[in-house]
Amino acid sequence: MEFTLTMMGTASAMPVNNRNQSAQVLNVHGRFFLIDCGENLQSQLVRYRVPMMKIDTVFISHIHGDHVFGIFGFLSTLDMKGRTAPLRIFAPTNFGPILKFFLSYYGDGLRFEIEYTPLKMKSPETVLSTKSIEVLSFPLRHGIDTYGFIFREKEPMWNVRKEAIAEYSLTLTEIGALKRGEDVNRPDGTTIPNRVAAYKPYAPRSYAYCSDTAIFPEETQWLSGTGVIYHETTYLKGQEDLAAQNRHSTTLQVAQLAKEAGARRLLIGHYSSRCPDEKVYEAECRSIFPETYAMNDGDVVEIPFNEA
Amino acid sequence: MEFTLTMMGTASAMPVNNRNQSAQVLNVHGRFFLIDCGENLQSQLVRYRVPMMKIDTVFISHIHGDHVFGIFGFLSTLDMKGRTAPLRIFAPTNFGPILKFFLSYYGDGLRFEIEYTPLKMKSPETVLSTKSIEVLSFPLRHGIDTYGFIFREKEPMWNVRKEAIAEYSLTLTEIGALKRGEDVNRPDGTTIPNRVAAYKPYAPRSYAYCSDTAIFPEETQWLSGTGVIYHETTYLKGQEDLAAQNRHSTTLQVAQLAKEAGARRLLIGHYSSRCPDEKVYEAECRSIFPETYAMNDGDVVEIPFNEA
């Protein structure tokens, strides 16, 4: 079952060659989530062969142009392609007027519904929950209203081992108990322990998106236990003042956060246009957190299971 | 003196690989004009090393997204780069609310003035006139209010030949007369003909931009005498019905127009995403107008002098 991230844009606000502005697509079990919507997203979706009609939910972190100016072309193109399926958008409350502008000016005859949910939580809250996944949103600390997102697989049901069914001649009722994680206690006094007859098909995977933000204490706590964290690293070490002033993060701050949150892997991006060489950021992070990977446009990352 | 066109985007509305949406930059004598503003323009300006801070005037043909969604990122980036010089925008009247949305939502603290002039002419009118160039705008026939633009060098003053100054011992008054194109009539009854003592330093060059539009009779007349014409060819031969229905043009229609208008050269673009291979469009046009060149993103065209 897929849990795959594709980078659409890894630049910060100022345009640079060979990087687009912030956008990512996360495929969770065949459902496509769009995370942020920097300019040129629609072309990036074509370039990296993302099935754009399958995107059913959009998560917008904040309304700075480099995270949102691609929304107009994206929505227009979905319409030109004949979309009728509704599109859900989670975005801060100040996204409302942007959507209203688009709909009033370009939405005439739009054949699909846009379901917009404004974000306004003070701590992590579930915003989407399906049978197999849940998405949480939480506030970040940027100049304006900004949110991060955590995508988590739910704990799967236990699967019953085929050989156990034969060995113990398990009844349907007993199989049901095992699937719920219970032991089987038989009338003859014997017990079939769950751990002997059943297993978890997979360990839940999780991915967090954090851009743009200054580091803050609750962030580590909120991200604790997340397998893979994407975090902006707009600045390099020694640029802490610049980072604080612009409400962004430095490499070392982010690497320390990933270490303390117990992440398995750290992905970074949103590099300052003053130094768009991602390897410089990666090296600095690795001095604290070796499992750091600097992202480029088009990179595809398989989110690994939490237990190795 | 430069008269150079650089293609920023040659695609039509649907995103395709390796082409961006409509935008061009025209450098006339060191003044940079932006013509249309498709998504991703700001990155294209970086890629093709166009000095974006030198762009002083923007011409928008119409407000369909593929001609205008790049304006938000472009204006934001000019501001981030510290622009203080005013920016002039010529665009249809329905561009007003788009600019208003941008200014009300992203214009806080903008340090440069935007001078917007709505277009609403019924036939070619001069919208900008400097010492050496003039720009005319004229209506096109698309689904919505759409305009084309003609950029023309003005007739230069006559230059007086250095050897004539010595040979005839020309006075300052006589030189002034020659520069204005007059003959010199001396008190002794002799005449120094202008054509003998003076010359034109260059023959005026001209360039017309026509996108998007169906072909219409006045268009040929209005473009008559223009050296280089850029015209959209969204459709191929045999797709006349589709072109008429969507108010676009076909290759053969456009080639015929260029021929009848007496153009020296025809540039084409805005290819349908169904056939983004520009060579197919070029070959069809050349069957009628051999001096046709199909444009790709990044192409640089020197606009030639009118007389060969």
pLDDT > 50? residue A228: yes
Chain A nearest-CA residue for B64: A106
Instruction: Find the chain A residues whose C-beta atoms sit closer than 8 A to any C-beta of B.
Output: 13-17, 20-21, 39-40, 42-43, 45-47, 63, 65-66, 69-70, 72-73, 76-77, 80-81, 97-98, 101, 105-106
Nearest to B15 among A46, A63, A97 (CB): A46
Nearest to B43 among A40, A42, A47 (CB): A40
Q: Residue A308: pLDDT band by 50, 70, 90 thresholds?
A: very low
Classify residue B116 as exposed, middle or buried by CB count within 10 Å of its CB (0-12, 13-18, 19+).
Answer: middle
Rounded CA gap, A265 and A207, in Å?
10
Q: Residue B306: pLDDT band by 50, 70, 90 thresholds?
A: low
Q: How many C-beta atoms surround the C-beta of residue A80 within 10 A?
A: 14
On chain A, the residues whose CB falls within 8 A of the CB of B101 are 97, 101, 105
In angstroms, what separates the C-alpha of A40 from chain B's closest C-alpha?
Answer: 5
Q: Cβ–Cβ of B70/A39 closer than 8 Å?
A: yes
Spatial CA neighbour of A16 closest among A299, A300, A272, A294: A272
Secondary structure of residue A260 in the 3-state scheme: helix
Copy the structure tokens of residue B48: 């093709």
Rounded CA gap, A284 and A280, in Å?
6
Q: Of B36, B56, B66, B299, which is the active-site residue?
A: B66
pLDDT > 60? residue B308: no
Strands A3-9 and A300-302: antiparallel
Residues pairing with A232 in the sheet: A269
**Token pair 């209005």: residue:** B222
Of A78-82, A156-160, B70-74, B236-240, the least confident: A156-160
Mean pLDDT in residue range A139-152 = 97
DSSP states along B257-302: HHHHHT-SEEEEE-B-TT---HHHHHHHHHTT-SSEEE--TT-EEE
Q: Do B211 and B269 form a contact (C-beta atoms < 8 A)?
A: yes
Q: Is B79 one of the annotated active-site residues of the chain?
A: no
Single-letter residue type at B125: E
On chain B, the residues whose CB falls within 8 A of the CB of A66 are 73
Nearest to B101 among A20, A42, A101 (CB): A101
Nearest to B65 among A40, A43, A73 (CB): A73
Element of type H or E holding B34: strand B31-35
On chain A, the residues whose CB falls within 8 A of the CB of B97 are 105
Strands A87-92 and A206-210: unpaired
What's the pLDDT tens digit per position in A257-297? 999 999 999 999 999 999 999 999 999 999 999 999 999 99
Question: If you ran DSSP here, which 8-state letter would residue A144 be given?
Answer: S
Instruction: Find the chain B residues whose C-beta atoms sit closer than 8 A to any C-beta of A.
Output: 13-17, 20-21, 39-40, 42-43, 45-47, 63, 65-66, 69-70, 72-73, 76-77, 80-81, 97-98, 101, 105-106
pLDDT of residue B305: 81
pLDDT of residue B161: 94
Q: Cβ–Cβ of A42/B42 closer than 8 Å?
A: no
Rounded CA gap, B172 and B175, in Å?
5
Cis peptide before A145 (omega within 30 of 0): no
On chain B, the residues whose CB falls within 8 A of the CB of A98 are 105
Spatial CA neighbour of B209 closest among B300, B254, B147: B147
In angstroms, what separates the C-alpha of B39 from chain A's closest C-alpha?
Answer: 6
In angstroms, what separates the C-alpha of B137 from chain A's closest C-alpha?
Answer: 24
In angstroms, what separates the C-alpha of B263 from chain A's closest C-alpha?
Answer: 34
Rounded CA gap, B221 and B307, in Å?
20
Nearest to B16 among A46, A65, A81 (CB): A46
What's the pLDDT tens digit per position in B90-142? 999 999 999 999 999 999 889 999 999 999 999 999 999 998 899 999 999 99
Mean pLDDT in residue range B137-151 = 97
Copy the structure tokens of residue A113: 């519904």
Q: Which residues of B233-246 are buried (b: 16+ CB within 10 A; e: fewer)?
A: bbbbbebbeebeeb
Q: Residue B224: pLDDT band by 50, 70, 90 thresholds?
A: very high
Spatial CA neighbour of B32 closest among B111, B77, B87: B87
Q: Where in chain A is the domain with CATH 3.60.15.10?
A: 3-156+202-302
Q: Do A144 and A137 form a contact (C-beta atoms < 8 A)?
A: no
Copy the structure tokens of residue A249: 């993060």
**Token pair 């370039």: residue:** A47
pLDDT of residue B1: 85
Q: What CATH number belongs to B3-156+202-302?
A: 3.60.15.10
Question: For B278, how many CA atoms within 13 A lie in the half-sphere containing its CB?
Answer: 20
ipTM metric: 0.91
Cα–Cα–Cα angle for B182, B188, B194, rounded to 5 degrees: 20
In angstroms, what separates the C-alpha of A23 from chain B's closest C-alpha?
Answer: 14
Cα–Cα–Cα angle for B291, B297, B302, rounded to 5 degrees: 45
Mean pLDDT in residue range A150-171 = 94
What's the pLDDT tens digit per position in A32-82? 999 999 999 999 999 999 999 999 999 999 999 999 999 999 999 999 999
